[in-house]
Chains A and B, each alone.
Chain A
């Protein structure tokens, strides 16, 4: 079937039983399927937002999709497919030990790379950024489960960085043959927990985490007998004697390969550190309207000239407004919202498309806005794809430093007038519990 000439690193074949030979062949198919990006949908995904620093990261996310869209049952299809192909693959004079060795190398690097990449995403807390002010003003029960999980980690950037360091360390252990089993052990624990959490909170990464879990188990298996004999049976155990030997040319090749991987990951890491220090890519970049950041009560609200008093049930009347430090406004009202079901993980070029703040959360409607400085107009567009027709054109006027007057029209041509009064308040989350707080 495959007649690729593999370089000989292990001269003597010691895998002789038919079952073991079948398992090695299946293992090869498994590794090839999850490493070689044969799915055209993947390439569409990688380039869908053009080229950016994030493209390199996206490359690490390849998962083969046999059944619809990213469900983790794909893993079982993958395993069964590998086993079946292993049976069909008839080979003569195959040096299985050598084949097994090289396949392990490929799988090690495949898994190690994706772990280090995600590790960097946590080390510079980008994967789970600190919740936005609008999200702080949303009731706990109005979030989807995944968002609560993300935010609960996002509020402790140091903890997230710590997790990232562990991921990087464990992934890096896979780049060296002798520390692979130790790294695999750590990864089994780590990704086992990630998989369980994704199942519980519907996080969207069930497939990738299960794939990593199974792959690291396959890598761990190499030393399982030895560890079992040492720890469970307390017998004198022989260490591994099958050591690959490389000639000079290959040793140079290995060094070059390891360096390329190193630079690739370093570049990803550096680009993440820039993104984090400038503006976390999941939130819009740039500044909002100057001096507006904060939470505002809407004291007066008029529609077509008619004043509507404070109301919990009126679907048009604004209850309160949050201005973020970037160009987003969120408005609380009684109007029903079809929740954004997505889990935004990827980099998006345009602020309007950066919907991490508005996905998975109810209670408020989130508007991206553009500022027209000369005419003092804000153009608002709803960021929720289910409500993208909602728009406002509002003139803004500052009265003192705590009142903003907004007046203009909505997408249905109604005349809206709102007077916003800034509310200075403390947040329990930011005050902490070490001292008595009054709020």
Chain B
């Protein structure tokens, strides 16, 4: 039986170990009381995929960094920080949420780690090495990485993170998307690739979870999610902080393995010091170890996977759930547009006349006019309850396109429209609809005290995006 005291670490090795032990401890051990009580208070029958991240824990956070523009702050209900808030722990700025300032919590924790390490070191002078603690810290971080990845993983394996493109997006010019939106939707029409990425992340989760494959899991985590971190900075995606956790966590787990790999392969030397593994030889130790691992596996792999599959099948969280008018999905030409009795002919410079109307499978209508609108800067992420707040289809695009959620009042043949652009929340209206045939819809009613009558005729439109360029010889038609 080896004696751990035969290995002597240098002063620097001990110092850095302590720094990062404290750093990661504060990052993965939940400090909020609710984390522990929620296991008992949660109504399990109402569990939704938006609830799972609460159970994988979150690190200590001291400062909130928000945009000085209210609309840009992502539309997650729990994040409601008002820009006018006078709380002292809120930093606001236009660029702050996207650049290095947003990392402030990580810097604070690092600072605490350094301070703590100095204090700890002065108390613990006789210590020769921290091999045992390193094992547990590394394992804990590894497990934390694995269970926190579940959201990203399963929402790709069951493709809900990047759902099918809405018709309105297919009919929006490329230059009218933000970079962030483009980064996301590029997966929307290649579900095979999205699933492949999800399976790769699932593999990372599994590799991290089990001892023998931990090094590989950590290496893949650094590579794959390190890439995502950098990309989020390049595209202003907004989730660089979460992705960064996986990068540094992966580096932390990988580092001891990497030094040994480098020594063995690149320097072709005998690695001297074996990595320490706690033997778990006593029966009660074995019981706890397998018990915890089984529970975590069942909850974060199996249960999470099941909930995500359910969400994919019944209520893909980014896609509005209310059905639109039956069989009305399509892109429509505005054949007649009559305002207060006057017909306005097709004119791309008119600021009121609608064109390029799309109706989705769900109850969203969108159109383009030649006008400028204040764009709501949110990214369209999050798991909203209400359809009108599910803005994945509309957020991040501009160029005169408007999106409306509608309710069908089939008794009165009316459609009640609600603006999905939160800046124009008051732009709601009702129109009477009639459908003389399968391809035509006539809408009539008052919008902003003008009486409108609009006749929509569906266009037959094929999109090159879904065609095989090797075999289809696609012909573009507008």
Contacts and interface: CB of A to CB of B under 8 A. Distances in A.
Contacts, number: 258
B265 A178 contact: yes
B266 A236 contact: no
B212 A231 contact: yes
A238 B178 CA distance: 53
A238 B269 CA distance: 8
B235 interface: yes
Interface stretch (B12-20, B84-92, B369-377, B407-415): B369-377
Interface in B189-205: 189-190, 192-193, 196
Given A189-B220, A197-B193, A362-B476, A432 B465 contact: no
A100 interface: no
A396 interface: no
Interface stretch (B29-37, B143-151, B163-171, B315-323): B163-171
B175 A427 contact: yes
A230 interface: yes
B348 to A, nearest CB: 6
A323 interface: no
B230 interface: yes
A144 B375 contact: no
Interface in A184-202: 185-186, 189, 196-197, 199-202
Interface stretch (B51-59, B109-117, B301-309, B391-399): B391-399
Interface size class of B (residues with CB under 8 A): 35 or more
B253 to A, nearest CB: 12
B469 A146 contact: yes
B170 A141 contact: yes
A304 B172 CA distance: 34
B265 A181 contact: yes
A336 B213 contact: no
Interface in A334-353: 334, 336-339, 341
B266 A182 contact: yes
B439 interface: no
Interface stretch (B152-160, B270-278, B430-438): B270-278
Contact of A439 (B223, B269, B399): B399
A438 B465 contact: no
B69 A435 contact: yes
Contacts of A437: 374-375, 377, 398
Interface in A318-337: 319-320, 334, 336-337
B285 interface: no
Q: Which of B177, B178, B277 has the most CB of A within 10 A?
A: B178
Nearest to A235: B274
Given A141-B464, A239-B269, A156 B179 contact: yes
Contact of B374 (A241, A313, A436): A436
B81 interface: no
A350 B91 CA distance: 54
B335 to A, nearest CB: 10
Given A182-B265, A437-B398, A438-B374, A339 B174 contact: no
Interface in A136-152: 136-146, 148-149, 151-152
Given A140-B170, A428-B176, A239 B469 contact: no
Interface in A354-377: 360-363
Nearest to B212: A232
B231 A159 contact: yes
A339 B475 CA distance: 6
B464 A362 contact: yes
Contacts of B257: 231
A380 B265 CA distance: 61
Nearest to A363: B476
Contacts of A429: 174-179, 182
Contacts of B375: 428, 436-439
A439 B216 contact: no
Interface in B371-404: 372-375, 377, 379, 396-400
A339 B94 contact: no
Given A433-B396, A434-B236, A339 B469 contact: yes
Given A237-B264, A337-B476, A432-B179, A140 B398 contact: no
B333 interface: yes
B476 A135 contact: no
A265 interface: no
B430 to A, nearest CB: 27
A158 interface: yes
A312 interface: yes
Interface string B455-466: 000000101110
A115 to B, nearest CB: 16
B474 A339 contact: yes
Given A137-B173, A182-B265, A239 B377 contact: no
Contacts of A131: 174-175
Contact of A140 (B165, B213, B223): B165
A412 interface: no
Contact of B179 (A144, A155, A181, A297): A155
B69 A310 contact: no
A40 interface: no
A309 B182 CA distance: 35
A229 to B, nearest CB: 9
B193 A140 contact: no
A313 B399 CA distance: 22
Interface string B243-268: 00000000000000100111011111
Given A231-B215, A432-B236, A237 B72 contact: no
Interface of B: 67, 69, 71-72, 94-95, 97-98, 165, 169-180, 182-183, 185-186, 189-190, 192-193, 196, 212-213, 215-216, 219-220, 223-224, 230-231, 234-236, 257, 260-262, 264-271, 274-275, 277, 333, 345-349, 355, 372-375, 377, 379, 396-400, 423, 461, 463-465, 467-470, 473-478
25 contacts: A136-B174, A140-B171, A152-B183, A155-B179, A158-B234, A159-B235, A179-B266, A181-B265, A197-B193, A199-B192, A226-B265, A231-B261, A297-B348, A299-B349, A313-B333, A339-B464, A339-B469, A339-B473, A428-B178, A429-B175, A433-B377, A434-B95, A435-B377, A437-B398, A439-B398
Interface of A: 131, 133, 135-146, 148-149, 151-152, 155-156, 158-159, 162, 178-179, 181-182, 185-186, 189, 196-197, 199-202, 223, 226-227, 230-234, 236-241, 243, 297, 299, 309-313, 319-320, 334, 336-339, 341, 360-363, 425-439
Given A140-B465, A363-B476, A433-B180, 17 more contacts: A137-B173, A144-B467, A152-B183, A162-B234, A200-B190, A230-B260, A238-B270, A334-B477, A334-B478, A337-B475, A338-B474, A362-B474, A428-B176, A429-B174, A429-B182, A435-B72, A439-B400
